[in-house]
């Protein structure tokens, strides 16, 4: 099934109208797994996303695995002011 119904002009008109006339997202936006998948692919895979608080990686060499938009990410503190993010996947494609 297509996700086109989420881009229906009437739905967007209700959401983007001034507050006095507007409404919240349709209920399905909070419960529909297809909307969740669309949101993950359209928003969270295309821009930066908060992954953790800096104090969770307080020492150089600290590692923290997290998941962002269904993707495993490994955060690493590399020096006093730098936290790096890596795709947390095996280079051997599951052979290890």
Please give the pLDDT value at position 16: 74
pLDDT at position 89 over 90: no
**Residues 56-84: tens digit of each pLDDT:** 999 999 999 999 888 899 999 999 999 99
Q: State the chain's mean pLDDT as an integer.
A: 83
| Residue tagged 């989420």 (tokens) | 6
pLDDT at position 1 over 60: no
pTM of the model: 0.58
């Amino acid at each position: 099934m297509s996700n086109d119904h989420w881009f229906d002009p009437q739905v967007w008109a209700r959401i983007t109208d001034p507050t006095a006339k507007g409404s919240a997202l349709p209920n399905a936006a909070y419960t529909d797994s297809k909307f969740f998948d669309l949101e993950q692919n359209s928003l969270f895979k295309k821009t930066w996303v908060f992954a953790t608080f800096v104090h969770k990686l307080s020492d150089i060499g600290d590692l923290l695995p997290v998941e962002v938009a269904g993707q495993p990410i490994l955060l690493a503190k590399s020096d006093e002011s730098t936290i790096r993010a890596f795709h947390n996947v095996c280079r051997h494609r599951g052979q290890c």
